[in-house]
């Protein structure tokens, strides 16, 4: 085990942030930074693998930074930046692309899902997405990468790419990163339909808690959340099939930072008439301070850009030795 843990993680800069983004990813980053040296970045180069409106992309990047900092990502502890500002990502990605057999990419299930029926119309970048992702972590000699279920295959590929590059060049250019199995990211579902993920594109605004919702709106949305007439059970197993109830328990547990079983221990036998107001109070108490900081910072583009520029500079310095070694390993003169 390496004495020093270095974790690298990226997030796509989606706009209209909501509770699902916060509890699903952002909150875990805030915790991670106390356990490890962390590099966190906005995967803007990944975002352009599909069509993006340029003005929206830039705005989404800045919004995500505001949200991350508001939620507790501390730029004194961690390095926070956007990928495009550290050219080493793109440079290494090209070297790795030239070293990755197409057959390996053909096996990636996410490409199959994202490209859908129109594979021939998908960009070459979307196909190569996992190779850029490999570059993201290999460039920093990451020891750990937090991976959800959907990213496991991409981390395996990064390890295969690193092994092949080291072997082909008879060097030890890259360290093989390990998966970081932290808390499983909460999977937050729509408040109107327990089978659909909470999403910025759901036409019903009642289906999600937006990062910008005021206290009354948060409370109202939980009050109107879909549930069933049964009281809350003693055990998690008894929640099976009660998707809406399960979701609300999951949200409560994630917000309070306790186990779902602990939530049930407190509310078993009670109905939603008791549970929903408690959940609404908890949500407001946790989210209101984040929302207020978010809105304040969001208006300060100069401050956000300063954070990103500083982060990119620090990241670029850490990337340089590996980038130089990779060029050298391939015999490229520079
Ligand atoms: N593909 C990741 C996602 O969609 C984002 C990402 C890009 C990433 N590069 C990464 C995550 C490197 C971890 C490490 O969520």
Q: Can you say how many angstroms the Cα of residue 325 is from the centroid of all Cα atoms in its chain? A: 29
Q: Is 83 in the pocket of ligand 1 (CB under 6 A)?
A: no
Q: What is the pLDDT of residues 164-191, one digit of tens each?
A: 999 999 999 999 999 998 777 778 999 9
- List own/partner pairs for 152-158 with CB under 8 A and 24 or more apart: 152/179, 153/107, 153/108, 153/109, 153/110, 154/108, 154/110, 154/130, 155/179, 157/104, 157/108, 157/130, 157/131, 158/130, 158/133, 158/134
- Label residue 32 by pLDDT band (50, 70, 90): very high
Contact 122, 115 (CB under 8 A): yes
pLDDT at 2: 46
pLDDT at 142 over 90: yes
pLDDT at 50: 95
Q: What is the pLDDT of residues 196-252, one digit of tens each?
A: 999 999 999 999 999 999 999 999 999 999 999 999 999 999 999 999 999 999 999
Q: Please report, for the chain, the start and end positions of each structural domain, with discontinuous segments joined by +.
A: 6-186+300-329, 205-296
Q: Which stretch of 3-7, 141-145, 172-176, 278-282 has the lowest confidence by average pLDDT?
A: 3-7
Q: What is the whole-number distance in angstroms between the Cα of residue 148 and the centre of ligand 1?
A: 10
Which of the listed residues 12, 32, 133, 181 should we mutate to test ligand 1's pocket, taking the one with most ligand atoms within 8 A of CB?
A: 133
Exposed e or buried b for every residue in 100-112, given b needs 16+ CB within 10 A? beeeebeebeebe
Instruction: Tell me which residues are annotated as active site.
Output: 114, 197, 200
How far is residue 126's CA from residue 104's CA, in Å, rounded to a whole number? 14
Q: Is 133 in the pocket of ligand 1 (CB under 6 A)?
A: yes
Q: Is 17 in the pocket of ligand 1 (CB under 6 A)?
A: no
Q: Is 128 in the pocket of ligand 1 (CB under 6 A)?
A: no
How far is residue 7's CA from residue 29's CA, in Å, rounded to a whole number? 10
What is the average pLDDT across 254-283? 96
What is the average pLDDT across 114-131? 93
pLDDT at 268 over 80: yes
pLDDT at 65: 97
- Label residue 3 by pLDDT band (50, 70, 90): low
- For domain 205-296, the CATH superfamily is Tyrosyl-Transfer RNA Synthetase (1.10.240.10)
pLDDT at 162: 98
Q: 60: exposed, middle or buried (C-beta count within 10 Å: 0-12, 13-18, 19+)?
A: buried
Q: What is the whole-number distance in angstroms between the Cα of residue 173 and the centre of ligand 1?
A: 22
pLDDT at 1 over 90: no
CATH match for 6-186+300-329 among 3.40.50.620, 3.40.50.920, 3.40.50.720, 3.10.510.20: 3.40.50.620
Name the average pLDDT for the chain: 95
pLDDT at 182: 74
Q: Which residue's CA is minimally distant from atom 13 of ligand 1?
A: 9
Contact 81, 312 (CB under 8 A): yes
pLDDT at 234: 95
């Amino acid at each position: 085990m390496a004495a020093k843990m270095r974790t690298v993680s990226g997030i796509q800069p989606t706009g209209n942030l909501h509770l699902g983004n916060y509890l699903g990813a952002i909150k875990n980053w805030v915790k991670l930074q106390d356990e490890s040296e962390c590099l966190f970045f906005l995967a803007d180069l990944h975002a352009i693998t599909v069509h993006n409106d340029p003005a929206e992309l830039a705005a989404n990047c800045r919004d995500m930074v505001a949200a991350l900092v508001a939620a507790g990502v501390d730029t004194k502890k961690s390095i926070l930046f956007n990928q495009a500002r550290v050219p080493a990502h793109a440079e290494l990605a090209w070297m790795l692309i030239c070293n990755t057999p197409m057959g390996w990419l053909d096996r990636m299930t996410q490409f199959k899902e994202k490209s859908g029926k129109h594979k021939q119309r998908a960009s070459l970048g979307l196909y190569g997405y996992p190779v850029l992702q490999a570059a993201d972590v290999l460039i920093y000699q990451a020891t750990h990468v937090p991976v959800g279920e959907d990213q496991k295959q991409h981390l395996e590929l990064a390890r295969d790419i690193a092994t092949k590059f080291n072997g082909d060049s008879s060097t030890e250019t890259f360290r093989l990163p390990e998966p970081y199995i932290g808390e499983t990211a909460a999977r937050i579902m729509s408040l109107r339909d327990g089978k659909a993920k909470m999403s910025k594109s759901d036409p019903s605004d009642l289906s999600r808690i937006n990062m910008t919702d005021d206290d009354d709106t948060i409370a109202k949305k939980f009050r109107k959340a879909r549930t069933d007439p049964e009281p809350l059970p003693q055990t998690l197993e008894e929640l099976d099939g009660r998707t809406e109830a399960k979701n609300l328990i999951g949200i409560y547990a994630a917000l309070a930072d306790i186990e779902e079983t602990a939530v049930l221990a407190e509310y078993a036998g009670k109905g939603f008439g008791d549970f929903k107001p408690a959940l609404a109070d908890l949500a407001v108490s946790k989210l209101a301070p984040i929302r207020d900081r978010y809105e304040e910072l969001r208006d300060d583009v100069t401050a956000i850009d300063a954070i990103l520029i500083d982060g990119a500079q620090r990241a670029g310095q850490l990337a340089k030795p590996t980038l130089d070694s990779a060029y050298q390993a391939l015999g490229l003169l520079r």
